[in-house]
Chains A and B, each alone.
Chain A
Amino acid sequence: MSIPIAYNFRNLAVRKATTIMTALGISLTVAVLLAVLALLHGLETSLKSTGDPLHVLVLRKGANSELVSNFTRTGFQVLKTKAGIARDEAGNPLVSLEMVTVINLVSVDAPDGINVTVRGLEPVGIKMRKNLKLVAGRWFTPGRREVVVGQALVKRFPDVKMGKQLHFGTGDWDIVGVMASGQSAINSEIWADLNQLSSDQHRTEVLSSALVQATDAVAAQALVNRISQDQQLNMDAELETAYYEAQQSSGALIKGLGWFVAIVMAVGSCFAAMNTMYAAVARRSKEIGTLRVLGFSRLSILASFFTESVLLALLGGLIGCLLVLPLHGMTTGVGNFRTFSETDFNLTLTPRILMGGMVFAIIMGALGGLFPAWNAARKEILVALREG
């Protein structure tokens, strides 16, 4: 049997100020880490849910993003004839020729403007995005300077609202609708009619990409291979899911920086916990001696002080979780190094992430508590009794 845990709880309660200060230190570290993880999870969810496993994205050979890809109408006509492409009720192949460009929009938190993706496409492209919904207004009319904007943009950009106009290219574009597609990156895009956008940008023949819908998952992979290996086409194909997943690299910097800051803070918090526990060991030296006289082993003493440090860290972890909870669902954006535009997404705190934060706190408590607990356990009885 070990020293009762009530002993640890009450000692933490008795030294309220020290306990709270140390726990707050730990909680801030946990909060920083959780915020970064929530950010990354939101970005990951957004990019992962953008792709459809049946969709194949086709770019010009060598292009790693739609933005830098030059895709000709001639090539598109050849592409349409490939086997394995799904067809709609009318028998038309589900292939969407698209053009992607970037415009600069002023945002609430970036007065100098942020790059936003504008996508030109035909009605078939809209039909192919199964999760896409119009949440307000209507779709753009082909041949007119009209745009439908992603829901995330409406939240973050003061100028992006139904009934307002956007100025880009050679004219003004009416915002006629707002679209949403789960957590996907489409929520951060502006969509317009392909022909209208391409003529406006003087790119009627050279567009960006084609989105192809395969009949099934096996056909999708086969299409990827067939298109990429076709020397005449000079195109690269990739599953749409893989394309967006690869864009998660834009989160790598945040991830690296986030972990760096969290670890630096964690080292500080470890020392804070260590300091608190060393003080506790020093203050309770006589109690340690007494417990040993009563028959508790060195191991029991070690376990007791170690437990106390972990409890302290758990309290910090809990406060940290509470501190970041208000961030859950908050919309933010991150620059995407592949598309040179911003992807908006929601910070997402999952139970798994919160659990991760608690584990992180426990590790801090354990590391911080180990040496003081060891120190307590090593004390000779008479020395401990005398020090008290």
Chain B
Amino acid sequence: MSETVIETRRLSKEYIRDEFHITALQDVDLEVKRGEFVALMGPSGSGKSTLLHLIAAMDVPTSGEIKVLGQDLRKLSDRAIARWRNENVGFVFQSFNLIPVLTALENVELPLKLTPLKKQERIDHAVTALKLVGLGDRLGHYPRQLSGGQEQRVAIARAIVTDPALILADEPTGNLDAASAEDILHLLARLNQEFGKTVVMVTHDPHAARFASVVHHLEKGRLLPMNGNP
């Protein structure tokens, strides 16, 4: 039986906004195995991004348990979480979130700054990652000199450069045209199949979800059973 990478039990998240309690996520039990490509689907406000943020330890749950790569995230300090995230998670944003004043190479090298690697090793790793996403000829380009699809590929290179076990993508094709979106989805699928990365992708696009091996649906903060019925 393959190893469980993500495990949540009765995971809930509530927000208080203007004195109102908003339940973003309620009693979610989720299990993701190593090597799976999971798509989290659901309409806006269904809690899919909240779940992804909790998995990435970018947010803390109100109640319930969450273990990612065997680590109980609630037990880690702020600093330890930062380190853990750097070593184990690659995050891909909908709007790419590249640093505009840094080149493609520098953007990809950035997470390696937190590793003990030497400058040349960092550059070598970053170049390899950029070549892998097909941007070996765009190393010195700034984000503004790249197309949306290319920017997202740089963001993916940045996400994989530390060789994390887990890649989390929040609507990675949301800001892209159909052709670029297709490229990005193929790239994520390749990372999953060829390199054995576990991928969790939030999307509301059924076409994107087809690239995933497992599809979960969320609605009003609840995870729907696998057959898709409430």
- Interface residues, chain A, with chain B CB atoms under 8 Å away: 1-4, 6-7, 10-11, 13-14, 286-287, 289-299, 381-382, 385
Contacts and interface: CB of A to CB of B under 8 A. Distances in A.
Given A287-B99, A293-B58, A6 B91 contact: no
B114 A295 contact: yes
A292 B59 CA distance: 12
A290 B93 contact: yes
B99 A295 contact: no
B83 interface: yes
Contacts of A2: 113
Nearest to A384: B58
A2 B115 CA distance: 10
Interface in B98-115: 99-102, 106, 110-111, 113-115
B110 A14 contact: no
B141 to A, nearest CB: 14
Given A7-B99, A10-B102, A287-B99, A292 B82 contact: yes
Contacts, number: 70
B167 to A, nearest CB: 13
B106 A6 contact: yes
A6 B82 contact: no
Interface in B49-102: 53, 56, 58-59, 78-79, 82-83, 85-87, 91, 93, 97, 99-102
Contacts of A296: 82, 114
A37 B82 CA distance: 47
Secondary structure type dominating chain A contacts: helix
Contacts of A382: 53, 58-59
28 contacts: A1-B114, A2-B113, A3-B113, A4-B102, A4-B106, A4-B110, A4-B113, A6-B101, A7-B101, A286-B97, A290-B93, A291-B99, A291-B110, A292-B58, A292-B82, A294-B91, A294-B111, A294-B158, A295-B85, A295-B87, A296-B82, A296-B114, A297-B78, A297-B79, A297-B82, A298-B79, A299-B79, A382-B59
> In the complex, which of the residues A1, A2, A294 has the most CB atoms of chain B within 10 Å of its own CB atom?
A294
Contacts of A3: 110, 113
B111 to A, nearest CB: 5
B77 to A, nearest CB: 10
A10 B102 CA distance: 8
A374 to B, nearest CB: 15
Contact of A293 (B56, B99, B102): B56
A3 B100 CA distance: 14
Contact of B86 (A7, A14, A294): A294
> In the complex, which of the residues A6, A286, A296 has the most CB atoms of chain B within 10 Å of its own CB atom?
A296
A295 B82 contact: yes
A381 to B, nearest CB: 5
B79 A293 contact: no
A297 B85 CA distance: 11
B114 to A, nearest CB: 5
Contacts of B102: 4, 6-7, 10
Give 3 closest A-B pairs by Cβ, nearest first. Answer: A295-B86, A10-B101, A290-B97
A364 B9 CA distance: 51
Contact of B111 (A7, A289, A295): A295
A385 B178 CA distance: 25
A321 to B, nearest CB: 27
Nearest to B114: A295
Given A382-B53, A382-B58, 4 more contacts: A1-B114, A3-B110, A298-B79, A299-B79
A301 B111 CA distance: 14
Contact of A294 (B100, B106, B110): B110
A382 B54 CA distance: 11
A6 B99 CA distance: 12
A385 B58 CA distance: 10
Contacts of B111: 294-295
Contacts of A298: 78-79, 82
Contacts of B87: 295
A299 B111 CA distance: 16
A304 to B, nearest CB: 11
B200 to A, nearest CB: 15
Contacts of A10: 101-102
Contacts of A287: 97, 99-100
A293 B91 contact: yes
> In the complex, which of the residues B83, B99, B102, B158 has the most CB atoms of chain A within 10 Å of its own CB atom?
B99
Nearest to B109: A4
A123 B227 CA distance: 117
Contacts of A6: 101-102, 106
A4 B110 CA distance: 8
A289 B56 CA distance: 13
